[in-house]
Amino acid sequence: MKLLISNDDGIFATGIRTLADTLATAGHQVWVVCPDRERSATGHGLTLHKPIRAEQVEGVFHSDIEAWA
């Protein structure tokens, strides 16, 4: 199964790492996209005049997982 996992707790949150690694170990294709740091309660925020950037994150998740923050 192909799975995209995201959260608002940030890319280094223990919960998302555990979930993603467990699913990848079980044979699923997993991608992770999260904010670079904890961003809870900003769901209604707007970014209007600045570009939104994402960088690939390596060494945090299972080696088969592609992650971006």
User: Mean per-residue pLDDT for 2-9?
Assistant: 96
**Looking at residue 47, what is its pLDDT?**
82
Task: Please say if the pLDDT value at position 11 is more than 80.
Answer: yes
**Domain span including residue 6:** 2-40+51-68
User: What pTM did the predictor assign?
Assistant: 0.85
% of the chain beyond a pLDDT of 70:
100
CA-to-CA dists, residue 64 to 1, 6, 50, 60, angstroms:
14, 17, 32, 11
Question: Phi/psi of residue 17, each to 5°?
Answer: -65, -45
Residue bearing tokens 């996209």: 33
Which secondary-structure segment (H or E) carries 19? helix 14-25
- 26 falls within a domain: yes
Q: Quick check: is 32 in a domain?
A: yes
> What is the number of domains present in the chain?
1
